[in-house]
Chain A
Amino acid sequence: MSETSTATIVTFLVYIAVVFVLAGLSHRLLTKKSFMSEYFLGSRGLGSWALAFTFAATSASGGSFTGYPSLIYSYGWVLALWIASYMIMPICTMGVMGKRLNQIARKTGAITVPDVLRDRFESTAVGLVSASTIIFFTVCNLVAQFKAGALIIEETFNLPATWGYLGGLFVFAGTVIFYTAYGGFRAVVWTDVMQGVVMGLGVVILVPLVLSQAGGLTAVNESICAQPPTLVTSMKQVYPDGNSTFNDLYVKAIGDLQPAGLTYHHPKQPNQSLKVRWSEQSDSFIEVTLATNVSGRTTSTGNDVRAALEEHPSLSQLVEVGIAFDNNEIVEENGQHVSKGATGVIELDPDKKPAKFVFIRGDEAIFGPGRSSSGAPFHPLGMAISFFFMWAIAGMGQPGTMVRLMAFKDSRTLKRAMLTVTVYYSLIYLPLVFIFVAARTLLPYIPQESSDKAMVLVATRVVSELGLGYQILAAIFVAAPFAAVMSTVDSFLLMISSSLVRDVYQRTINPKVTEKVVKWASYGTTAIVGALVTIAAMRPPDFLQYIIVFTGGGFAATFLFPTMLGIFWKGMTKQGALCSMIGGFLIIVGLFVPSMFGGSRMNVCGFHPVLLGLFGSLFLAITVSKLTGPAPEHLVRRYFDRPKKDYDIAKANTESLS
Chain B
Amino acid sequence: MAGSTSSVQRIIKTEVLIIGGGVTGALAAIGAARSGCKVTLAAKGSLGRSGNSIMAVATLRVDGESAYRSGQSKADRRYTKDVLFHNIVKDGYFLSEQNLAKRYVQEGGKRVDEFLGWGRQTRQRIIFIPPGVWLTTGKAVGAACRIGVRQTPGIQVFNDLWIHDLLTNQNRVVGAVGVDVLSGELIAIQARAVVLATGGYQPYSFKCSHSDMTGDGMAMAYRAGASLADMEFLLFLPAVMLAPRVHRGSILPFVLYVSRLIEPHIANTAGENLVEKIPPALRALAQGTEWTKLIYSYYWAKEILNGRATNRGGLFFDFSKTSKLKHIRGGLKAYLILRLMHHKGWVYQGKSIKDLYRTIRNGGRWEVGISNQYALGGIVIDENTATGLPGLFAGGEAASGIFGANRVASALSEGLVFGYLSGQAAAGYARNCEEARFDKQQLEAALQRLAGLFDQDGSLRAWEVNRRLEKAADEGFGLLRNEARLCSALAEVTRIREQDLPRIGLRGQGRAYNLEWLQALEVENRLTCLEAGIRAALAREESRGFHVREDFPQVDNAKWLKRILCSRANGAMVINTRRPLIDAVTPPHGPYDDIMAYAAHRSREAYAYKY
Do chains A and B stick together as partners? no
